Amino acid sequence: MCMAIPSEVISIENGMATVECFGVTRQASLLMMDGQVAVGDYVLIQAGGFVAELVDKQTALETQAMMAEMLAHQAS
Amino acid sequence: MISFAPEGVIQVQLVLERGRIAAVRLRPRPLPPLKALLKGRQADQAARMLPRLFSLCRIAQTCAALNAIEQALGVAPPPAQSAARLVLTLAETIQEHATRLTLDGPLAFGQAPDVETAKAVRRHIAALVPLICKNDDWVRPGGGRLSPRPNDLADWLEELRRLILSGLMAGRDVSALLEVKDLRDWAQGQGSAPARLLQALLKPGLAGFGASATGLMGHLDSGQVMARLAASDWESYAQAPQTAAGLCLETGPLARQNDHRLIRTLEAESGHGLAARILARLLELAQTLTGIALALPLLMEGEGVDLPVAGGVGLGAAEAARGRLFHWVRLDAGRIEEYRLLAPTEWNFHPEGAFVQGLKGAEAADAETASALARRQGLALDPCVGLEIEVSHA
């Protein structure tokens, strides 16, 4: 559904970031980001598994809260 | 812990028999429960929330939402607002196509990506909104405060044209080519990542991979879409849409560029396969530039219209990079009562649609090959969708 929820960067190694969102971790390439990404940042991952955008922490947490609200409804 | 796949994973089952993909079965994605999030919220608040969730094509999603809300309220935005939305949507399409053509497309075929061009286009597109309005003021039903900067916008467009012409088209407007032979010559020059990609894809065997007889979406009866999304069984429609006549359709760049002579000729040679689908994205870059150039003079300084506190039902459409997108809303006293969405993905990944038909019968000696072919077909149709592929033997 072309949703993308901001994920937190928990580690960076060899141009790849490990990101976490709702307890799920996955890997994404930092090829597009020119070294702008650090551990603790929130990012959006694009199709193909590329980090495409930095998101400020407040916006990221608000968006995660919106998604959590929807998912809680879906689960109930 | 919440387990989920925000991009919406489609489960695909492939059945191999005598070296071919004999059957393709899809399980539709669950629909996001938007009503749970939006019910009771003011329409303008909902319009600002949706792009946060649908951030991969947020402009098109926003435009579809604004259009739906406006129709429900019975208001029409001033022409300058519509022009601003069109320019922003077209720019988003360029960004998405450029990424496909320089980054994930080449990588999927073992070629070197052109990261610098992908980044340059993305940076340039990101600079557009501030030339039209402050913050995200355009995101308001009825229209927001626009403060366009005409000279800067003209410069912005020229730079975008230069980026596309030099970075993607290797100095030649590919949309002006008339014959596939000319296209092959251009591709053989290998002057850009899309040229190298097309050189590989224009080879016999690959060019027609994934082709099917699925019809291409042109005019679509919006009354039928509205009625189906309003119905109590709307979820089954939104997960597997068909026309009133029960036909599956392909939506996206190929459907939009189908009238181009190069696409017509390629179709005659090898069908609507990989080469036609990738070429359509390249051709659409040029057409989109023209669309932006035509819309920019319509941008005027000004505000939107006031919104009544009213109820009603509305359908909004937008052409996202991936295809046609619909939002449906029911408002009560200016607040969201119901919210539904029909994404382009569900047309292309219908259980009898273009993805499935194009894969059926493809030669695949083993499970690994079959999976790779399915991923290739998925990338050509909708790169934003994750596929979970399972292969069995008949």
Mean pLDDT by 10 residues, chain A (76 residues): 80 95 90 91 88 93 89 74
For the segment B14-45, what is each residue's pLDDT rounded down to a tens digit?
999 999 999 999 988 888 889 989 999 999 99
Q: Where are the domains of chain B?
A: 1-22+361-394, 29-75+222-249+313-348, 77-217+252-306
Tokens of B82: 């519509």
Distance separating alpha carbons of residues B290 and B128, to the nearest angstrom: 16
As a whole number, mean pLDDT of residues B301-330 equals 96
Task: Give the pLDDT band of residue B6 (cuts 50, 70, 90).
Answer: low
Q: How many CB atoms lie within 10 A of CB B41?
A: 16
Q: Is the pLDDT of residue B78 over 70?
A: yes
Mean pLDDT of chain B: 95
Question: Between A23, A46, A52, which is nearest B1 by CB?
Answer: A23
* Contacts within 8 Å (CB) and 24+ apart, A51-55: A51/A17, A51/A19, A52/B122, A53/B55, A55/A6
Q: Is the pLDDT of residue B279 over 60?
A: yes
CA within 13 Å, CB half, B189:
14
SS3 B225: helix
Would you give the distance in Å from CA B153 to the centre of its chain? 24
In a domain, A50, yes or no: yes
Q: Which amino acid is at B128?
A: L
ipTM of the complex: 0.91
CA within 13 Å, CB half, B366:
1
In a domain, A53, yes or no: yes
CB of B227 less than 8 A from some CB of A: no
Q: Is the pLDDT of residue B7 over 60?
A: no
Q: Is the pLDDT of residue B1 over 50?
A: no
Distance separating alpha carbons of residues B198 and B294, to the nearest angstrom: 29
Q: Which helix (H) or strand (E) holds B200?
A: helix B193-201
In a domain, A70, yes or no: yes
Distance separating alpha carbons of residues B257 and B280, to the nearest angstrom: 6
In a domain, A18, yes or no: yes
Distance separating alpha carbons of residues B191 and B174, to the nearest angstrom: 12
Residues of chain A in contact with residue B383, where contact means CB-CB under 8 angstroms, are 47-48
Distance separating alpha carbons of residues B75 and B200, to the nearest angstrom: 49
Number of domains into which chain A is organized: 1
Residue A55: which domain range?
Answer: 7-75
Compute φ and ψ for B5, nearest 5 degrees: -130, 95
Mutation target to probe the B interface, by most B beta carbons within 10 A, among A3, A33, A71 is: A3
Query: Lowest-pLDDT range, B54-58, B165-169, B206-210, B240-244?
Result: B54-58
Nearest to B239 by CA among B372, B115, B319, B353: B353
In a domain, A39, yes or no: yes
Q: Are B284 and B101 in contact (CB under 8 A)?
A: no
Query: Lowest-pLDDT range, A58-62, B1-5, B289-293, B355-359?
Result: B1-5
Residues of chain B in contact with residue A69, where contact means CB-CB under 8 angstroms, are 36-37
Nearest CA in chain B to A31: B115
What sign for the dihedral angle of Cα B359, B360, B363, B366? Answer: positive
In a domain, A2, yes or no: no
Q: Is the pLDDT of residue B294 over 90?
A: yes
Compute φ and ψ for B132, nearest 5 degrees: -110, -40
CATH number at residue A15: 2.30.30.140
In a domain, A1, yes or no: no
Residues linked to residue B26 through DSSP beta bridges, in sequence order: B12
**Taking CB atoms and an 8 Å limit, are B8 and A1 in contact across chains?**
yes
CB of B40 less than 8 A from some CB of A: no
